[in-house]
Structure 1
């Protein structure tokens, strides 16, 4: 059986994870990035490392990208570079292009210009966390450096108030008026049903479970309140 060949363009967290996984499985991979510094963890394991501008068709072709079975574009923050890279790969004739998107709009654009598959690593990670959160009374998971997700039993702290009232009361500002603490409710579990499309006027009952996002300061504040019940 002929093994597939892979290319990874962009060595951020996601690109590095994919590259490491492919290498550990013994797959053939060509890795491209615009910074030599990002190659440091792969110099001993990956033979084909290329520092290049991934929007440059000639550079991609010279690196052998056009001959690969699958190319993963893991450029996230630079949306323009992400889009132009996918366009370059299409022009080269790559048959399977998988591209990382950071937003719904970004993903739609990537699909329209020819990406065969669009993935949303951050959103998918958040969804997995969401599923894990439903198991206990109070549970917290870290999504990013300053964003956490928490699931709690509403009880007397959140019960008998509307979604809007809970969110509004969570806002705390510093002396300059900058918001330093805030939460956003993303789901409510009532009996056996999950409510995810609701208005700010929805009243929360003491027996409901709620899932909310917040910065670290806000989540830590509410966790302490619930732990003291």
Structure 2
């Protein structure tokens, strides 16, 4: 009985956040919070500005994002949706599959469920993991996804990142260094930008997760109360036995 009560209390106290994994460049772990609407709005802006030219979130709609994140419809259509889009349209990229194959050698994946497939920790590390590699067709590689075909679309924000290993080692070099002055953001600002982008994609993968967890908390509270009442009733029935 005590173990069951302790388990229920543990579930009640579980946070609605995810701790992102540390990355090879030495960036400290950050919390991915899908309840922070300001962060999600910033992540949505980053996604539309830097990712949506190639990637979409076709199972997400502009209207849903606007409602959930507190963005007026007019502002949503002016700042986040392409010209001519309806508020009810899905957030699809306009990159055609044939063009994607011609430019990148493969179709570009939709990102609606990327955090479900890969995890928020993986995506957080991946977006930090790009570095200059002249041997690659697009001049970049990635410590998390070697031989990546995607260009580093966030380089203008982060700066020019390179491997930082002076001597050969038995293991592949994964230590990274950003050349100062080559990006518009400092390390902390860029990390915030990536964290917010990952948070937006984590929200997009399950837009009702916050509401579901709130309902789950109410259910757990009800079960905890029911367990307590059952335990007290049991004590009342058995207090004169033996």
Same fold, judged at TM 0.5 (above): no
TM range (shorter): under 0.3
As a proportion of its length, which structure holds more helix?
A: 2
As a proportion of its length, which structure holds more strand?
A: 1
TM-score if structure 1 supplies the norm length? Answer: 0.26
